[in-house]
């Protein structure tokens, strides 16, 4: 009789331990999903802000001088290759490095998100990343001679210069903000699913 009671108590104890382990695994997974959602959201905001920084139409002379020094120091290239003679090209080149840095962080967060949630998040972030490609292309076009450009000046200006006003974003900024909000909504849903 004692052996039967011991076996029954052992089985009950194992069942409770299994339930506790299952709950613990769910908590760990939920914590990882919340952390991933938070990190990805922060990375997307940094990416948005890096693009916004590049598009700032005001470039002080000191920023241009720092950019020229940085490029000379880091690339060892002859800076006489500036076709248009517009030294602000160097400032934009250095500014765009922030976008590339933010993209690296974003890509890193996306790998973790894919492991948790699948490829859907990549599809959601792609239009945002495409905006950075459009910006890069427009910047290159801006500093090319008119006769070799494939974009007209108005389209270039609409992309590289943030023309937002206090209460109204320009189209390029609005498209970025809309995409960021769509991703943020998806991430909030992932967090709610964990609770």
CATH of 29-194, one of 3.40.1720, 2.50.20, 1.20.120, 2.70.98: 1.20.120
Per-residue confidence in pLDDT tens, the chain, 195 aa: 777 777 776 777 667 666 665 665 555 556 888 899 999 999 999 999 999 999 999 999 999 999 888 888 877 555 555 544 578 989 999 999 999 999 999 999 999 999 989 999 999 999 999 999 999 999 999 988 888 889 999 999 999 999 999 899 999 999 999 999 999 999 999 888 776
| DSSP string across the chain | -HHHHHHHHHHHHHHHHHHHHHHHHHHHHHHHHHHHHHHHHHHHHHHHHHHHHHH-S---HHHHHHHHHHHHHHH---GGG-SS--THHHHHHHHHHHHHHHHHHHHHHHHHHHHHH-THHHHHHHHHHHHHHHHHHHHHHHTS-GGG-SS-HHHHHHHHS---BTTB--HHHHHHHHHHHHHHHHHHHHHHHH-
Domain ranges of the chain: 29-194
């Amino acid at each position: 009789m004692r052996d039967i009671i011991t076996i029954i108590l052992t089985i009950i104890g194992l069942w409770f331990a299994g339930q506790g382990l299952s709950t613990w695994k769910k908590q760990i997974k939920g914590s990882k999903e919340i952390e991933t959602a938070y990190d990805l959201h922060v990375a997307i905001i940094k990416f948005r802000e890096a693009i916004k920084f590049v598009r700032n139409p005001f470039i002080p002379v000191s920023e241009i001088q720092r950019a020229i020094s940085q490029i000379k120091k880091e690339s060892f290239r002859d800076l006489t290759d500036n076709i248009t003679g517009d030294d602000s090209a160097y400032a934009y080149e250095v500014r765009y490095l922030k976008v590339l840095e933010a993209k690296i962080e974003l890509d890193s967060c996306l790998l973790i998100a894919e492991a948790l949630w699948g490829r859907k998040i990549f599809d959601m972030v792609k239009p945002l990343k495409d905006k950075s490609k459009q910006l890069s292309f427009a910047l290159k076009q801006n500093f090319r001679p008119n006769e070799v450009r494939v974009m007209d000046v108005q389209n270039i200006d609409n992309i590289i210069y943030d023309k937002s006003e206090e209460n109204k974003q320009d189209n390029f900024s609005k498209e970025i903000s809309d995409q960021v909000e769509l991703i943020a909504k998806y991430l909030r849903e992932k967090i709610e699913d964990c609770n």
